[in-house]
Amino acid sequence: MTLQGGAGLGVIDTKSQKMIRVIPIPGIKGPHNLDLSLDEKTAYVRDIVKHVAVVNLATGKTEKIINVGNGHAGIDVSPDGRFVVTGAIGDTYVSVIDTHSLKVRNIEVGNGPHGVRASKDSHWIYVTVSKDNVVVVINASTMKIEKRIAVEQFPFWIALQGNP
């Protein structure tokens, strides 16, 4: 779990139902959201400002701090593990991080992208664009926008079958 007050990540033993460890994450402000790699050895932690921390869960060490868009947002590791996507509620683009090289590609989507989720087959990226009242659909192979779906007021989070 993220400890948004700044401590980092809290680790809970689900068997004993007790918090067993706090992993500090120097270099980020207010851990906001997180997702795990497919092998569950790496946590990708989104802060409330403009960073994603790559944290080795075995060692507790922050391996890299990656600059992304401004403001808090959702974060999602694609089901195939190829990429991590995060929004930026205070910006106009999503950031797609290659999990092998940790290089970032920014894709302009509109005002206030927040919720992000890859499809079960990792072919599509869905982004709620809160201030524009749309869900943007990005082709993950080409990293191009394929569609904008008009929705009701202020879409924020998103869940997809196969990758809730």
Going from N- to C-terminal start, the domains of the chain cover: 2-150
d(CA 119, CA 82): 13
Which structure tokens are listed for 14? 């689900």
Is 90 exceeded by the pLDDT of residue 7?
A: no
pLDDT digits (tens, 9 = 90+) for 96-134: 999 999 999 999 999 999 999 999 999 999 999 999 999
Is 90 exceeded by the pLDDT of residue 5?
A: no
Name the architecture of domain 2-150.
7 Propeller (2.130)
CB atoms within 10 A of CB 160: 14
Asked if 77 and 36 touch (Cβ cutoff 8 Å), the reply is yes
pLDDT digits (tens, 9 = 90+) for 50-85: 999 999 999 999 999 999 999 999 999 999 999 999
Is 90 exceeded by the pLDDT of residue 46?
A: yes
CB atoms within 10 A of CB 150: 8
Residue type, 141: S
Which structure tokens are listed for 111? 């005002």
Which structure tokens are listed for 80? 């195939």
d(CA 141, CA 159): 21
Averaged confidence pLDDT in the chain: 96
* Sheet strand arrangement including 8-13: 2-3, 8-13, 18-23
Residue matched to tokens 């060692």: 59
